[in-house]
Amino acid sequence: MCFQFYEGKGYSADFTDHMGRVIKELEAAPMQKVVLKAQTDIVCKNCPNNEGGLCTSQDKVIRYDKEVLKACGLSDGCEISFAEFKGLVKNRIIDAGIRSDICCDCSWDYICRSKE
C-alpha cells in the first residue's frame, strides 16, 4: 500500500534509493507476478530497521501487512500481478476510505493523509 503514496522520503538514502528502484521495476512490468508476504521482504532490504531479516517494528508491520491482505481478500504468500494488487489496494482500501484504519500509527502517515 505504501507504494501508492511513496515520494522518496525515508529512513536513509540507502533505503529511499532501493525503494525507488523496487517501485520503478514493478511499474515497468505491472503484469509481473509478486508474492505477497506479511514479513520482512525485498522492499525492506535496505531499511535501517531491518536487523538480520527482522524488523525492529515487526509486530506493527505484520499487522499492517495482514490488514492490507484481508481488506483485499488475499492471503499471506499468495501470488498476484503487481497491477492487480495495486488495483485492489486502490479500490478496496484507498477509495473505500479505510487506509487510516490500517496504518494511522505509522510514522509516515502524514504523507499519505496529505495525498488522500
Q: What is the pLDDT of residue 81?
A: 97
Distance CA 86, CA 35 (A): 13
pTM across the whole model:
0.89
Mean pLDDT of the chain: 91
Q: Name the burial class of residue 112, with classes exposed (0-12), middle (13-18) and buried (19+) by CB atoms within 10 angstroms of its CB.
A: buried
- Domain spans in the chain, listed from the N-terminal domain onward: 2-103
From 20-24, 92-96, 100-104, 106-110, the region with the lowest mean pLDDT: 106-110
Residues in the chain: 116
Residue 9 reports pLDDT greater than 80: no
Q: What is the SS3 assignment for 110? A: helix
